[in-house]
């Protein structure tokens, strides 16, 4: 449909560490390029629904020059139609999302973030930094940023089809 935004969501477990970080990194890049893309995030579980992002996520984003503002929420099975691309942060999220998908078309929208990093090799999970330290959050940021060029390429191709 003409004039429709391309919609991307990132999904991790609780929606307070990895997915909000990925959301704000991609949001920054699509805004810089002036692309008509909406980016948000959610979690496979609802434990943290209503919470802000983990302060360590916010700190890592700010140190790298990104903005951040967030309220956690749980991904719902009836949301598949709202998105063009649903990005799981690890294989566990990928499985959970694909099992929620109502049909093959919805399942095909679910991809792993690191699939878009040509240097990722077989290690496609972004590790959960929740029980870690500052360095673990910095590592998540590096892994997400490494996937951004490939993601932008995929999104630009998707926008041409809209």
Q: Which of 95, 112, 84, 113 is nearest to 44 (CA)?
A: 95
Active site residue 128: yes
Q: Which of 66, 153, 81, 86 is nearest to 117 (CA)?
A: 153
Could you give the 3-state DSSP secondary structure of residue 21? helix
Choosing from 7, 12, 54, 117, which is the catalytic residue? 12
Choosing from 45, 125, 128, 136, which is the catalytic residue? 128
Active site residue 12: yes
Handedness of CA 94, 99, 101, 107 (dihedral sign): positive
Q: What distance lies between CA 88 and its chain's CA centroid?
A: 6
**Spatial separation of the C-alpha atoms in residues 134 and 136, rounded to whole Å:** 5
Could you give the 3-state DSSP secondary structure of residue 65? coil
Contact 93, 11 (CB under 8 A): yes
Choosing from 7, 18, 56, 114, which is the catalytic residue? 18
Active site residue 18: yes
Residues with catalytic annotation? 12, 18, 128
């Amino acid at each position: 449909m003409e004039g429709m935004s391309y919609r991307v969501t990132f999904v991790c477990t609780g929606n307070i560490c990895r997915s909000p970080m990925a959301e704000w990194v991609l949001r920054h890049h699509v805004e810089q390029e002036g692309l008509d893309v909406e980016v948000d995030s959610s979690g496979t579980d609802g434990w943290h629904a209503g919470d802000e992002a983990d302060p360590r996520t916010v700190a890592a984003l700010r140190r790298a020059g990104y903005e951040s503002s967030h309220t956690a929420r749980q991904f719902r099975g009836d949301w598949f139609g709202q998105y063009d691309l649903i990005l799981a942060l690890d294989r566990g999220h990928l499985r959970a999302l694909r099992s929620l998908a109502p049909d093959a078309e919805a399942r095909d929208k679910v991809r792993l973030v690191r699939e878009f990093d040509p240097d990722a090799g077989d290690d496609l999970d972004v590790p959960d930094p929740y029980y870690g330290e500052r360095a673990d959050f910095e590592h998540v940021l590096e892994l997400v940023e490494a996937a951004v060029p490939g993601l932008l390429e995929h999104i630009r191709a998707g926008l041409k089809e809209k």
